[in-house]
A and B are shown apart, each in its own frame.
Chain A
Amino acid sequence: MANISQTNEAVSTNLMARALREAFYAGLVALGLFVLFVGLKTDQNILNELILVQRWGLLAIFVAIAVVGRFLTVAYIRPWFEARKAAKAAAPAVEREAGFVTRNFTLLAVLALIVYPPVMVGLFGFQGSLKWVDNFGIQILIYVMLAWGLNIVVGLAGLLDLGYVAFYAVGAYSYALLSSYFGLSFWLLLPMAGILAAAWGTVLGFPVLRLKGDYLAIVTLAFGEIIRLVLINWTEVTKGTFGISGIAKASVFGIWSFDVSAANNFAKVFGLPMSSAYYKIFLFYLALALCMLAAFVTIRLRRMPIGRAWEALREDEIACRSLGINTVTTKLTAFATGAMFGGIAGSFFAVRQGFVSPESFVFLESAIILAIVVLGGMGSLVGIAVAATVMIGGTELLREMNFLKQIFGPDFTPELYRMLIFGLAMIVVMVWKPRGFVGSREPTAFLRERKSVSGSFTKEGHG
């Protein structure tokens, strides 16, 4: 026993000595490197003469960081990592029984979403809940639906589409234009926007689907820009950059309206105090219902021959053709279905905003939706929903971080760091989980037991 503790002591003094030695060398290297970069600086004085400014204090800080950093790395951080690795290797590989939350994640998430608006109203009152139901709830749900639509094209069929926002725009403008020019109702225009977007998806698909990989991505990107430029320049119809405002609100199946002046106004009928919160809560549940429908359709489609053909297409297109699958129509249906989801999300966006302009449909939107799909794990509905919540909710949350002003001074605006944090989060997730939050895929059929397929076997597709 004594012997062992002695050797342990010997090892630790040895380690300390090594750490000190390495720290000293690191300090020397840092000094050598930074003495001219940091220690001395050329500058101009008032007379425009070049003078040498000496900054020994700053240099000392740099060297100190190197010395302390090296010492800590060698003496503590590395041994800690090694010990953890050894402990992991020593522990028997026991498959942990998935907890209650993991097993019923989807059900719990849906329940949480259903009780979300009442809880927010309870916490913040009708007026205070607006922000939480609208900015967080509805916005995230719109992105979830968009990402699920793009998931069909990119995640299942493996076709890289960088212009997805075009279908979102088609849906939004279909609703905005048809309701302002012809006064058609939301419930008619919702499916119509989906169908119109799907038609545009097919139109785009025909010439584009001969292309593969990078070429396909570039052409879809161009298509997205074309739609946006048409919206800007076709001023007689779309009013250009001014956008279309005063878009009609949705009604509860035409029974109750949310127009303040209407006789069948929801609040008037039920004798409630006037508030715009009812409309937002109604839209929240509507968005939730649309998302559920989209999820249901996607899950069903994956078990249909067409869904399997999409995934097979992602894995190997030539093999698909050798099995008698018409890859052109298969790709077109993937494009059209994805576009339809985008179109429905777009018309919902228009009805929520009450205003659409081309500025909402820039390339950045396509990139964000694609980022959500990739971060969530291509093909996984749950992963994508989580990614949308984290990404969109997270950036919205930054607006709320006013306490940061007390730390960084009153000029600090956290919203401006949104994109920086967005990018950082993506890098972290991709390092930590290269296949996204949910990297494995669920098989669509099984003989004995459903085993999920590890992400290392699935391909990303190349066209």
Chain B
Amino acid sequence: MALETDTMTKDPILKVDHLSMRFGGLMAINDLSFEAYRGDITALIGPNGAGKTTVFNCITGFYKPTMGMITMRQKAGKEYLLERMSDYEVNRDAKVARTFQNIRLFSGLTVLENLLVAQHNKLMLASGYTILGLLGFPTYKAAVGESIERAKYWLDKANLTDRADDPAGDLPYGAQRRLEIARAMCTGPEFLCLDEPAAGLNPRESLALNELLRSIRKDTDTSILLIEHDMSVVMEISDHVVVLEYGQKISDGNPEFVKHDPKVIAAYLGVEDVEVEEVIEQIEEIAPGDTH
């Protein structure tokens, strides 16, 4: 396992360089650099307000970063600078898919329709931008059949086949989380960003989620970046962990290394009295940077 990860480390799929994001006077992310490797599950963790979701929004084009560069390198070698692209292009061209912290399903569409909407661009092309499809050309019918097959595959993986014809809003919470991941996978991404996929799940649903994520890594060549608070999920399935605090990276490495990093322990559990001075020094180092 460790060997496999080591050989993988040579091939970064996503490179974040000196990323900064400022909202008015608030520096949400401050000069953050890290890499995510192809075939890995990379976890982005940190206390509340550390800027994890902001990093996500920058990567997926929903925010324009104040500074920095985000490079996505596809398997074929093509590179995309994500900070220059708009949100839908990040998915369509760069093949980066995402889910949301507060689930965003199309609740009035059925589960199957949700997965078909995710294949919009492919179907749009097959339907000759609607015109050929409207005239009933067979190419479109074939493409729809193919899309339904793909949707079936992911329904099966997410264990939702029985609910395929029910409205997405009618599913229980855990199933909605899995459907959102399945929907993101239906766009055919090379890089999948999951924003707190285990939030609010009970232990059994959490287990089902872990299984789904593992099978994504095993059966597809999609790399995963996830934000997570649930340490059991992070430690169990991730290959590489990046820890954020106050918009800065404080630790980066495999789960075992990060778990024992004193900085991480300090961030999560607070620091002892002896170290307070040290922390104040660190803060003063950051503070002048803020005023520039």
Contacts and interface: CB of A to CB of B under 8 A. Distances in A.
B118 interface: yes
B100 interface: yes
A304 B88 contact: no
B179 to A, nearest CB: 12
Contact of B120 (A308, A448, A453): A308
Contacts of B170: 457
A443 B109 contact: yes
Interface in B134-190: 134, 140, 144, 148, 152, 155, 161, 164-170, 183-184, 187
B contact patch SS: helix
B117 A321 contact: no
Contact of B108 (A301, A446, A450, A458): A458
B130 interface: yes
Contacts of B100: 318-319, 322
Contacts of B183: 323
A305 B113 contact: no
A311 B165 CA distance: 16
Nearest to B94: A324
A450 B89 CA distance: 33
B48 interface: no
Given A324-B120, A443-B165, A306 B109 contact: no
Contact of B87 (A321, A449, A450): A321
B117 A459 contact: no
B165 A450 contact: yes
B92 A451 contact: no
A318 B104 contact: yes
Contacts of A453: 108-110, 167
27 contacts: A301-B130, A304-B140, A305-B133, A311-B106, A315-B105, A315-B106, A320-B88, A320-B117, A321-B62, A321-B87, A321-B88, A322-B184, A323-B88, A323-B91, A323-B97, A323-B120, A323-B187, A325-B88, A325-B121, A326-B88, A445-B110, A446-B164, A448-B164, A451-B110, A453-B109, A454-B167, A457-B169
Interface of B: 60, 62, 87-89, 91-92, 97-98, 100, 104-110, 112-113, 116-121, 123-124, 127, 130, 133-134, 140, 144, 148, 152, 155, 161, 164-170, 183-184, 187
Interface of A: 297, 300-301, 304-306, 308-309, 311-312, 314-316, 318-327, 333, 441, 443-451, 453-454, 457-459
